[in-house]
Amino acid sequence: MAEPILSVNDLAVEFDTYGGTVQAVRGVSFDVQPGETLAIVGESGCGKSVTVQSIMGLTPMPPGRITSGNALLNGVDILGRKTINGEDIRGDKIGMIFQDPMTSLNPTMNIGSQIAETLIVHRGYSKKQAFARAVELLDMSKIPEAEKRAKQYPFEFSGGMLQRAMIAMAIACEPEILIADEPTTALDVTIQAQILDLLNDLQRENGMSIILITHDLGVVARMAQEVLVMYAGQVVERGSVDDIFYRPGHPYNLGLHAAMPTNDPEAESRLTPIDGSPPDLFHPPAGCGYCARCPYSMQVCIDTPPPTYTLSEGHEAACWLHHESNTQVVPEIHHAGEAVND
């Protein structure tokens, strides 16, 4: 396997609030391989967006605070840095598509000027050169009549077109990594498919890596090679897309599958929600963060954080069900391997 283009190690992020300190991200580690897509999956509030925003330097400090970890981009730690060898990291080496394009774009500037601004700042283009390139990027993003659209304002665009404009802005400087934070949220299924196809096409053309943040397992199956499953600010399972879908190793992963609609006529039509709520991250549980909602929890889950077990090459899960002395049998859980960190 090639050296990862981005390697995040033991990242922890906290926020000081009037109610106390929120431990939003707790010891997250992952690698992003060149030219591949890593999906980060989990329900709202599990720490997905905070993780990538901290890497991008978008976490406000204060109230935010990175308490541990590093993020190595081609071997250089970028946490807390704006440049590498004089080149900007944000917008240049790493691009980002935000969740809501309507609130991420400036309503007082036309679309073309907003894309051009990125090229003027990071590439030194003249205004004329930058605007011409912005039109090309809009055309590349499959926006019809790109030259006309570049002179229009965000309120004149539909939701799908706004998302395409955001993609054009994010790839303007041909970044090595593109972070897509729930890029299909609030779009209808037809437009969702078009946006995902566009990202795939751009990845093939530019060779960039993608970090895809989503709670939609259908999007994960379509886009990703590697998957990180997060819960309560921690990574509970990681593996290839086939491992996550066909060889789940954590009860939370099973819960996500059970709550996902399927078109299999032989499957039960009733969706099974995950009972309960995520834990209070003002005071995270002493043991496993998922134990209060887990149908297979044991006493050790309440008292002691689970180690991470290697189930197969590249497939890991943090769950006491994999301990050698466990006698509880869960047919859907894939077992194997040994603990990585006791």
Angle among Cα 28, 49, 342 to the nearest 5 degrees reads 15
* Position 148 in a domain: yes
Domain identity same for 142 and 244: no
Assigned domain for 145 exists: yes
Domain span at residue 12? 6-229
pLDDT tens, the chain, 342 aa long: 678 899 999 999 999 988 899 999 999 999 999 989 999 998 888 888 899 989 888 888 888 899 999 999 888 888 878 878 777 788 888 888 887 777 888 899 999 999 999 889 888 889 999 999 999 889 888 888 999 999 999 998 888 888 888 888 888 888 889 998 888 776 777 777 888 888 888 888 888 899 999 888 888 888 889 999 999 999 999 999 999 999 998 999 988 888 777 766 666 667 788 888 889 899 999 899 999 999 998 899 999 999 999 988 889 999 999 888 888 888 788 776 566 665
Whether 245 maps to a domain, the answer reads: yes
| Residue 170 and residue 101 share a domain | yes
Look at residues 276, 328, 267, 273 and name the one whose alpha carbon lies nearest to residue 300: 328
Using alpha carbons, select from 39, 50, 78 the residue that is nearest to residue 229: 39
Assigned token pair, 198: 């566009």
**Same domain membership, residue 192 and residue 46:** yes
Does 243 lie in the same domain as 203? Answer: no
Helix (H, G, I), strand (E, B) or coil at 56: helix
Considering the domain architecture, whether residues 158 and 239 belong to the same structural domain is answered as: no
Query: Which alpha helices (H) appear in the chain, and where do they start and end?
Result: 48-56, 101-104, 111-123, 127-140, 146-149, 159-170, 189-206, 217-223, 241-246, 251-258, 299-303
- Are 154 and 204 part of one and the same domain? yes
In a shared domain, residues 190 and 225:
yes
Residue pointed to by tokens 């500037």: 109
Verify that 259 and 113 share a domain, yes or no.
no
Give the residue from 98, 142, 133 showing the smallest Cα distance to 114: 133
Residues 71-102, buried b or exposed e (16+ Cβ, 10 A)? bbbeeeebeeeeeeeeeebbbbbbbbbbeebe
What is the value of pTM for the model shown?
0.88
Do 179 and 283 fall within a single domain?
no
